[in-house]
Each structure stands twice: as structure tokens, then as C-alpha cells.
Structure 1
């Protein structure tokens, strides 16, 4: 890869919505940057498609097992620096899973996730609109609104 070129980081992201229309988010608190919240999801394994990655990431990060995450509902790309310090261009695909509220199980977390994940929380749209810490993606409320309209 040439200097300045970024690796394409394929990732599956989930809007995990409970019966009260709340969205589950994860609070990451890296030691070298401001804490932030984002939804369940992560990078696809090398030969894994987005759907399979969504199912796997959902189970690894929350303990919730589903056979299918449904159709892709959104896609976005962005340039950012990973928690490991690597500059990447993301290619993220979003899926929606509806469930009943539950307490996530962190047994499947990696060592890095154990070090950085500090909290899980179910958010209403109103809470997200007023939240005091960064939430990613920045258009998450638009994604929720579009999902509710379907």
C-alpha cells in the first residue's frame, strides 16, 4: 500500500432495537481520545460477507444469537483512525434487528473490547438527540427514522 493510502475496512453495523423502540449502544473509552458511543458491529473477517459478520458481531458483542440480520438497510463510507491507530476507509453496511430488551453478555469480547468497552445502554431517540458524548455514526438518528418508516 502506498504512503497515504488507506486500507478498506469492511464492517457490519447493527441497529439493535428493543420493544420500546430504544437503540442499544456501546460506550468505548479509549485512554488517548474522548469516550464515544456506537452501535453493535465490527469488521468483517477476510472471507466473510456483511450478513455473516453482522450475525457474528451481534453474538460476540452482546450474546444475542440470531439466524439472520435481515436485509441491508443502509451503507456508508468514512475515513477514520481505528482504536488500534490504523487510518482506514470504512465500508459499513447497516442491518436492523428487533428484539426484546436484555442485558448484553460480554463473554465473547476480545481483549481490546474488554479494555475499552465501559457500558451498554438502551437509548430513546430523544435521549440520543441530546446526548453529551459523541455518538457514531453521526447520522444515527436519521438511520433510526428511516428504519421506523419502513
Structure 2
């Protein structure tokens, strides 16, 4: 997630602040096997690039990974889940997000939650999220396979396929996705 700077104007890309954090991403999958994604953007650029992302975000100090995943789902979607609803981790990676205002390196884990389709609430979104996250959509597998839009993570369907048919366990060890660059402006 970008900082508040895109709304105010982007600094020179070579002087962008850099940060590192641990983050939890959650694949919310409904009863028809659709995955909830949010349309995010980098308003510091023209034209404004857009990309679709899973729910999730940074782990706060003193918070466990599972506590962060539960909190992020509630804040970004309005859905209350329990830690026991989380299946995973499905995958792990280190991702660099170079935005127009900041470069963020995230140590990420991906989790799965089966849920009934619900109406998303943005009441818990921060001011920045309200400015940058402009839509949400429940994507079918066919839509994801056919789209030309940017989907982050690019390996979303492979991550989704790590869940067993019963939605209760991960098929094998977490998928190691390695180091990934998903940027609107190159990090270096």
C-alpha cells in the first residue's frame, strides 16, 4: 500500500523513502470459488496505473501474523473472521513495490479463507486506501485466467491451488515464490 504522498504530489523517484515490513495477504474465496480483489492505484503517476490486489497488509508491532491477517480483513472488507478460519500459509515471498512516492519491501505470507459472498464495507479504510483503492470485484477463475489487467500477485491462481479440496489444509509446504518485483516505478 502506498503512503499518503501520491495524493499530495510525488517526490523525485530517486529520493523515495524506503521501508520494509512483514505483511499478511488473504485470499477471500466465496461459495462459488470467486476471489475478492481490490482495484488499487498509484495516483502519483499520469496516467494513473491500476492493479488488483488481495486483502491484507502490514503486521503491526506486537501483533502476531494471524492477528494481523484477521485485522486487515476486517479493516479492508468489513468481514469479521477468526484466526481458526485462516488456512495456510499457502505461499511466501519477498516483494518489492516501487510506487511513485515510496519503495516498500514486504516479507509476505498468503492465507486462504472460505466465506459466503458478502457486501464489502470500506468503513475501515484509511484515507490513503479510500483515495487509491477504487473498486472491488469477486473474480472467477476464468476471469483471472483471461484478464489483461495487472493482478498482484501474478501467481494468484497457483497460490489458490495450494488449498485442498476440503478447504482445510495446504497441499504440501508453502509455495516459495522467492523475490518478486511488482512496481509502478522501478525500485532502483
TM-score (normalised: structure 1):
0.89
Give unpaired runs (5+ residues) of structure 1: none
* Equivalent-residue separation in structure 1 for 2:18 and 2:64 (angstroms): 20
1:128 paired to 2:140: no
1:19 paired to 2:47: no
1:79 paired to 2:91: no
Contact 2:50–2:150 (8 Å) recurs in 1: yes
Give the 3-state SS of the residue equivalent to 1:100 in structure 2: coil
**RMSD, aligned CA:** 2.1
* Equivalent-residue separation in structure 1 for 2:139 and 2:111 (angstroms): 17
2:55 is aligned to 40
1:111 is aligned to 127
Give unpaired runs (5+ residues) of structure 2: 1-14, 166-170, 172-188
1:80-99 alignment, distance < 5 Å: 80-82=97-99, 85-99=101-115
Residue range with higher mean Cα deviation, 64-73 or 48-57: 64-73
Please report how far the alpha carbon of residue 8 of structure 1 lies from its aligned counterpart in structure 2 after TM superposition: 2.4
* Equivalent-residue separation in structure 2 for 1:114 and 1:6 (angstroms): 22
Q: Which runs of 4+ in 1 moved over 4 A?
A: none
Which of structures 1 and 2 has the bigger CA Rg?
Answer: 2
1:60 paired to 2:72: no
2:175 is aligned to none
Give the 3-state SS of the residue equivalent to 1:71 in structure 2: strand
* Equivalent-residue separation in structure 2 for 1:67 and 1:145 (angstroms): 22
1:138 is aligned to 154
